[in-house]
Amino acid sequence: MTSEPETVAELVLARERDHRPGLRFEDRELSHHQVTAAAAARAALLRDLLDARTPRHLGVLLDNTPEYPLWLSAAALAGAAVAGINPTRRGAELARDILHTDCRLLVTERAHLPLLTGLDLPGVRVLVTDTPAYDELLAPYRGAAPEISPDATPAARLLLYFTSGSTGAPKAAVCSQRRLAAAGHSLVRHFGVRPDDVHYVCMPMFHGNAVIADWAPALAAGAGVALRRRFSASGFLPDVRRFGATYFTYVGRAVQYLLATPARADDRAHALRLGFGTEAGAVDARRFEERFGVRLVEGYGSSEGGAAIQRSPGTPDGAVGRAAPGDDLAVLDPGTGKECAAAEFGPGGRLLNGDAAIGELVNRGRSPFEGYWRNAAADAERVRDHGWYWTGDLFYRDAAGYLYFAGRADDRLRVDSENLAAAVIEAILARWEPVAAVAVYAVPDPVAGDQVMAALALRDGVSFDPHAFSEFLLAQGDLGTKMAPRFVRVLSRLPVTATHKVARGVLRGEGFRCTGPGEAGDVWWRPRGGEAYREFTAGDEAGVVGEFRERGREGVLGEG
């Protein structure tokens, strides 16, 4: 039995003589052989452009075009590292990301050049892919023999990808050739990826999900890759059919947006068999399979690689799965470091002891976490105590050992001295048929702690019915008495980040405040002692702000 390649460079080189379709984008198609040859040309160029005396890092500021995976493959062959640069960042923040990761080369396209106008990027050379100058620069290297640099070791850095946080600048997590190759092999085994599969990459490639969970297993199995420049709900099925896609990954609210598209008689006319991702939720996963005939597998893996949970047959609804064999995952109280109590459930699956059961997921065993680039403080926050890896994610665990995701640590709410998890409430509200997407978050309480607020994006053509919403809440047996939203903001679409995760910071910043004259109906509320929701008017807002002022807590509201 042959051993699995330990580096991504070996996986790239293994496709050198493979003339099957390897990469498709819009009307273009490259064979695996052509992909390897194009990567070899770029690797040869890298060896000439990057100084071995400095970190061999290049930034990639591109949409999902063929150049992105070609530069990933080139960096692997050359023993260099790619920093995925987020095109939604602007100005000084964008410059900071490029300079923080010590990029000496920045690969971009004409569409993104305006983002660089006025930025001070000393020592950074910019290559613009869709220009004659780029073609001329590459021309002498075309035909370069594919070869693996001595620097392309298993431990060599290959990815620097930014992880978002609620405070501070994004951190650049390190991923080595060994870890990315191992992730690819693991997913190939877990999902039975075949060489004749086609992986549809519609999530942004500057994010770890698209590269680690979609591109890497395709590379490891010799499967084809089809790219979408940017995610499009309306373009999803046409792409899947055109490319013959069999597998895709998703992050955040992409599944909800797909479900919000008009249903068609041919929704099941495709070859897609599997979707893998996070944050779809059990309700929408069932809806997706019923409508499109595609199974969604909700997984969990911290983007830094520090902990993972495997879903297996028999996993209860709502659970992510159990720890992988050999892993020592625990749900700990962040304050005491002690293990939380096992979850207790009431009628309808209601979590009865959230205060005692919900804690932070911690890997107490060996962790694949490879650190953040030049951020010792962030490393120390993530790995502490006995070398344990603290994920920053909230979970609870049942008596059988199944783990349930309860949100980010920053998404915890404290209502009337009871700790609640936003993800638990979101899963309940997502059952309401008119809802396309939902986000739950904390807004301040005039006295102490938090109140629950929900943002609801409704399906096309549906208006918010406060009476029907109240009736729905009363019918949910697992909705605790503290969980019902006091405030509801109704939107046509939730604000999202570039990776299609809900921009909770935007929602928290808006809070319960009315959005302006004539738009007060966007916010609804249930006054204390009331059961029915009604419009939150400017007069209501003034009254609530007055309560904060009377108690000297107006400062917690921020600017309004």
Secondary structure of the chain: what % helix, strand, coil (to 5)?
A: 30, 25, 45
Domain ranges of the chain: 8-230, 303-410, 416-557
Among 16, 19, 18, 81, which Cα is nearest to 46's? 81
- Res 239: pLDDT: 98
**Architecture field, domain 416-557:** 2-Layer Sandwich (3.30)
- Res 24: pLDDT: 98
- Res 160: pLDDT: 97
Among 522, 513, 519, 515, which Cα is nearest to 542's? 513
* Mean pLDDT, all residues of the chain: 89
525 has a pLDDT exceeding 80: yes
Q: Is the dihedral of CA 318, 485, 532, 522 positive or negative?
A: negative
Contacts of residues 313-318 at CB distance under 8 Å and 24 or more positions apart, as own/partner, are: 315/402, 316/398, 316/402, 317/282, 317/349, 318/282, 318/349, 318/404, 318/427
SS3 460: coil
Percent of the chain predicted with pLDDT > 70: 94
Measure the N-to-C terminal CA separation of the chain; round to a whole number of Å.
65
- Res 477: pLDDT: 77
User: How many CB atoms neighbour CB 152 within 10 A?
Assistant: 23
| Residue 179 DSSP label | H
250 has a pLDDT exceeding 50: yes
342 has a pLDDT exceeding 80: yes
Provide the b/e sequence for 244-280 (b: ≥16 CB within 10 Å): bbbbbbbbbbbbbbbbbbeeeeebeebebebbbbbbb
Over residues 112-132, the mean pLDDT reads: 96
- Res 338: pLDDT: 94
Give the total residue count for the chain.
Answer: 560
Q: In the CATH hierarchy, which top-level class contains the domain 8-230?
A: alpha beta
- Res 334: pLDDT: 87
pLDDT band at 552 (very low <50, low <70, confident <90, very high): low
Contacts of 57 (CB under 8 A, 6+ apart): 50, 80, 81, 82, 83, 101, 102, 103, 104, 105, 157, 160
Tell me which fold the domain 303-410 belongs to: Luciferase; domain 3 (2.30.38)
- Res 417: pLDDT: 58
Q: Calculate the CA dihedral of residues 258, 259, 262, 268 and round it to 10 degrees.
A: 80
- Which residues share a beta bridge with 396? 404
pLDDT band at 301 (very low <50, low <70, confident <90, very high): confident
Amino acid present at 190: H
185-199, 406-420, 451-465: which is most confident: 185-199
497, 89 contact by CB (below 8 A): no
330: which 2 tokens? Answer: 């625990």
